[in-house]
Amino acid sequence: MLLYPAMNVLQGTPRIAARFLLTAFLLLAGCAPLQWTRPDATPEQTQADTADCQQRAWQESNFRSFGYGPGYRWSRYPFWGDRYYDETRLTRFCMEVRGYSLEAAPKQ
């Protein structure tokens, strides 16, 4: 039994507003430029490490065998076989192993 039937119409409004704000926040957060940082690394060393990790990730993602693992239709992993996703993931892993962290670039 509803005591205030008009309130039922507005019941979903806070959820819609929250979803909108969350989506807007995520879209705006995606616009922030990121950079690899490590306290003891020079910019030249960071650039060299990034290039080396990207090259190794590119090689690994291109030479990996697609014969293993479940087929795309049956996989719960939506990016199975996506070379670009694997390259990004491997680059990130390589940089993190070397002690770098991905942080927002300072405003200039």
**pLDDT exceeds 60 at position 66:** no
Q: What is the dihedral of CA 79, 51, 49, 45, to 10 degrees?
A: -150
Residues 6+ apart with CB under 8 A from 94: 52, 53, 56, 57
- Among the ranges given (13-17, 72-76, 97-101), the one the predictor scored with the smallest mean pLDDT: 72-76
Q: Residue 94: is its pLDDT beyond 90?
A: yes
Q: Please report the beta strands in the chain, taking only residues with DSSP state E, as ranges in sequence order.
A: 34-37, 101-104
The pLDDT tens digits of the residues spanning 8-49 come to: 544 556 667 777 777 777 676 667 788 999 999 999 999 999
